Amino acid sequence: MKSTIHVATKQAYDVIVGQDLLDEVGQDIIKICPTASKAFVISDSNVASLYLDKIIASLRNSNLETAVYVFEAGEESKNSDTYIAILQAMASNFLTRTDVVVSLGGGVCSDMAGFAAATFLRGIDVIHVSTSLLGQVDASIGGKTGIDLPNGKNLVGAFWQPKLVVIDTNTLETLPREQIIEGMAEVIKYALIMDAVLYDLLKNTNLDEIITNPQLRYEMVRQCVLDKTDVVVSDEFDNGRKQILNFGHTIGHVLEKMSDFKLSHGRAVAKGMSIVLNASRKEGLCDAATNDNGIDLIKAYELSVEDDTSSELLAQGAMSDKKKRGGTVSLVVVSSIGEAKIVKKSIDELEAFLEARKEC
């Protein structure tokens, strides 16, 4: 099973989604970067121990020289120290502008490797080989790269499109269950905001089947890649459509920060989606069935919808988040399954809107 999805932005590239693709990465790279003589592979400690040997063998089989940088797995590594260490390793390995960087890992790896590639020698090619569910359905596509600062997440970065994205959905076999659940929050988001077919697929299966059935996993990830690609391509010139991808995130980010990041991103987004769904029903922005179906789907994938957060604190937090414009917050709401729209709220309106969820 394999399909190639073309991302037809100005700097176009392909996303190859399939099963057992790692042995072919070398050939794929040579096709797309024929002048490359060296591949600089960046990976984290968990993923490297599982898949690095395979990738290196594939690159060498395609006559590419290889060099490797492995960082300690986890968001804590997505910082300026690791970024500088990566750049220094690139320089020590005499990487040139015709060579390529290969990220092998989840979203932390593609964000940091993408940023290093965007800035080393003012920009060299990067290929993402994505291995986490969040990476496969979201982080590896769209060209956003960056690192965290002590002041906040993703504060430094660049837009840098990959030359190719390789998504081997069989790598999800080794992804811990909790990471699958976290990634499912983004998968559910696509289903609710834009993809009723994906909604049906998710509704008619369950977490265990997704974890154990390779064909199903492939189909689900492929559908999400099509969704993200659709949004990225249709909003290349910033007409605002990609804002729909923020569904659950505006409130989710506030919950994440309020918990001092003890609540994970995926779980925070799930709560954010459920809060907005409940509030939308009360305000007549969606009907009861949409609300119930959305909440049931979130719960079915072992994501908690419990919340007793103060509406005032949520509204204040959302106002200080980066999505506010001119004293209003843009909030994505789901009007029916597979359809989203954006509503603008002042801080008082937002607080009242959020408070109404408690009557649900």
Point out which residues bind ligand NAD (CB under 6 A).
Answer: 44, 46-47, 50, 73-75, 78, 105-109, 111, 131-132, 134-135, 138-139, 142, 144, 153-154, 171, 174-175, 179
- CB-wise, 178 or 296, nearer to ligand NAD? 178
DSSP strand pairing (324-325 vs 164-168):
unpaired
DSSP strand pairing (13-18 vs 164-168):
parallel
Q: How far is the CB of 279 from ligand NAD (least distance, A)?
A: 24
CA–CA separation, 134 and 359 (whole Å)? 33
- CB-wise, 255 or 350, nearer to ligand NAD? 255
Q: How far is the CB of 10 from ligand NAD (least distance, A)?
A: 18
Q: How far is the CB of 206 from ligand NAD (least distance, A)?
A: 21
Residue nearest to ligand NAD (CB): 107
Q: How far is the CB of 77 from ligand NAD (least distance, A)?
A: 8
- CB-wise, 36 or 47, nearer to ligand NAD? 47
Backbone angles phi, psi at 105, to 5 degrees: 160, -160
- CB-wise, 79 or 316, nearer to ligand NAD? 79
146: left (phi over 0), alpha (psi -120 to 50) or beta: left
- CB-wise, 144 or 271, nearer to ligand NAD? 144
| Sign, CA torsion 279/284/286/290 | positive
How far is residue 173 from each of residues 164, 184, 224, measured CA to CA in Å?
23, 15, 18
- CB-wise, 73 or 319, nearer to ligand NAD? 73
How far is residue 244 from each of residues 10, 190, 250, 265, 342, measured CA to CA in Å?
21, 9, 11, 17, 7
CA–CA separation, 260 and 101 (whole Å)? 33
The residue with tokens 């790269």 is 145
CA–CA separation, 285 and 298 (whole Å)? 19
Q: How far is the CB of 133 from ligand NAD (least distance, A)?
A: 7
Q: How far is the CB of 46 from ligand NAD (least distance, A)?
A: 3
- CB-wise, 30 or 172, nearer to ligand NAD? 172
CA–CA separation, 110 and 135 (whole Å)? 8
Q: How far is the CB of 169 from ligand NAD (least distance, A)?
A: 10
How far is residue 211 from each of residues 178, 184, 208, measured CA to CA in Å?
11, 11, 5
